[in-house]
Every structure is written in C-alpha cells, then in structure tokens.
Amino acid sequence: MMMRHRCRTVCLICWVVLLNLAGCAVMDKNIPSWSQYREPDPVNALQLAFESSGEGAPVLLIHGFGASSYSWRHIVAPLARRHRVITLDLKGFGESPKPHDDAYSVYEQARLVRNFILEHNLQDLHIIGHSYGGGVALAVSLYLAASHPGLQRSLVLMDSIAYPQELPDFVKILATPVLGALAVYMIPNSMQVKKLLRTVFFDDTRISQNAIDHYAGNLDKPGAKYAVLATVRQMLPADLAEFSNHYTGLTIPALIIWSREDEIVPLAVGERLHENLPNSRLVILTGVGHAVQEEDPALVLPYLLQFLEAHTYPTE
C-alpha cells in the first residue's frame, strides 16, 4: 500500500513538472490544407470501426479527442428508438486502425468520415460531433454541401473546436517535444485519464471507474499513444482561420450545444459559431463540463430528440 501511494505521488509530481515546463507546444504546420481534401476518394483504404443500432433516418455520432464511440454510450439507446444511430471510432481511436503515419488532421479525419458516409449510402443524414469530433463534423458538412447537396439533413455541434484558440494545458503538454512523449509513455494510463476527465467534467463525482478503465484500456491498444501524439500536433490546422470563413455558407439546420463552464473550448467559440452558421440555434447549459453526453446525458437528450424530430422527413 505504501509503495502504491509513493508511486501515485511520484506520478503526480511528474505531471506538475510537465505542466510547468509546457509552453513550447509545436503544432504541425505542414499538413495539407482543407481544399486538398474536397474530392472524395473511390474507396477508403482505411476502414473506420463503427456500430449501428435502431432504424430510421441515420444519425452519425463523432466523438472527441482521446475518446471513442464509448463516449456516446448513454444516449445511443434513446436516440435509436426513432433513428438509426451510427457511432464511429475516428482514425487512431477506439477500435479503428492506428497507422504510424502523419495523416491525423481534422481534414484527414473528415475525408475518412465523408467517404464512410458515401460508401454506406447514408441519406437524410444527421451528424452530431463533439469537441475535436465537432471540428471533423464541420469539415464533413462543408464537403458534403459542396459535393452532395441535400444528402445531409442537419448538424449538431457540442462544445466543438472551430476557430484558432488557446490550447488547453494538457494539449500543450502533449504537443511539446519530448514532454509529450514522456507524459504519454511514462505516466500510467489510468492517471492520464483521471487528469483529463477532471478537466472535462464539471462535477468530478460523476467520473466512473468504468470510464477510467475503458479509456485507459484504449491507450493500451497498439499504436494508440502514437495516434494521440500525432493527432494533438495536427489538432488546429494552420489554415483554420481561412477554413472557418466558409461556415457562413453552411445553411443546413444546426444546433449548437455548449457548457458555460467548459474549460477546454470556451463558450465564446459557441457564440461565434452561432453568429456564423446562418440557420443555427444556440443552447447554453450550466452545471456541466466539456462532455455533457457523458456527465449528464439527461440534460442534453431532450434538446437532441426535439431537434432531430423537427428536422427528420416523415416516414412514408
């Protein structure tokens, strides 16, 4: 017991030291711009893992950074009563492939998701994206609007990345050369997950041991830690400000859901999105953190169900 306590203390000290040394984050500026991903590929060389449940108009759920389709576990069943719900694992996360390459940008993820949509012939599609997955959802929606207008029915963005912003501390650590690798490979998985979830959640008492164990287990998968480091370096593309200028042309109905207490993507981003998406509604939640679908799903479900119902074609 004493040895375990000492180990936790040492790991905590290491985390504090890493946090103090962070500040030299190096983002990858050499990734292709969004315009280079416009044309769909004939087929995805990399197949994303997914699960599907329910019947009806498809609802595609795209998780955030460091997460997986598991992050939607509380809302899949309620949504599946009226819809076909599809949960994807993005490249590098969950059960999806984790190749050792440099293609982990939001645009690359959006390319894979867009191709998944076309390959599976998803029509009258609703897309819901959270955090990093919200940035992916925005890119997918712009691609589809340009190449397949009418295919997508609506868009939901939850505490989504969308514009250049100050990086959260844990992202700064991971994007800092040497320090990022030390944090990912030297600090125990469970401790990494706990620290992240305490930033993500507003009420730490809602963090379950099952969630810690699941996400820690994901980090044990071959290639997972490489994917985390590769993704974080490409999280905010160099041309993001230019890319965001196209949001005003996205005219599909959009629901923007944000937590006032979000410590990762500030409410100002959601308010700016609401200003720039011409057919959008902004819902501001209180008493929850960055991932309301995990922390308090009952709070967000009524908004999702009402929005989807209002923008789904009636069954003939």
User: What are the structural domain ranges in the chain?
Assistant: 50-310
Output the pLDDT for position 252.
97
Query: Hunting for tokens 């990762």 — which residue is that?
Result: 264
Number of Cβ atoms within 10 Å of the Cβ of 197: 22
pLDDT of residue 23: 53
pLDDT for the residue numbered 176:
87
| Rounded-to-integer distance, Cα 161 and Cα 135, Å | 5
Q: What is the pLDDT of residue 76?
A: 98
Instruction: Look up tokens 């993704």; give the residue.
Output: 231
The phi, psi pair for 4, rounded to 5°, reads -65, -40
Q: How far apart are alpha carbons 273 and 161 in whole angstroms? A: 10
pLDDT in the model for residue 172: 87
What's residue 178's pLDDT?
84
C-alpha span between 207 and 194 (Å, rounded): 8
List average pLDDT for each run of 10 residues in the chain, which is 316 residues long. Answer: 45 47 58 72 79 97 97 98 97 97 93 94 97 97 93 98 90 86 92 94 97 97 96 90 95 98 96 98 98 98 97 67
Per-residue CA distances from 234 to 121, 143, 172, 174 (Å): 29, 19, 12, 11
Strands 254-259 and 280-285: parallel
- Per CATH, the number for 50-310 is 3.40.50.1820
The answer to whether the beta carbons of residues 107 and 39 sit under 8 Å apart is no
pLDDT of residue 5: 46
Torsion angles phi and psi, residue 86, rounded to 5: -120, 120
Longest dimension (CA), the chain: 66
pLDDT value at position 31?
Answer: 77
8 A C-beta contact, residue 147 and residue 38: yes
* Token pair listed for 171: 């992202």
Alpha-carbon span 294 to 74, nearest angstrom: 7
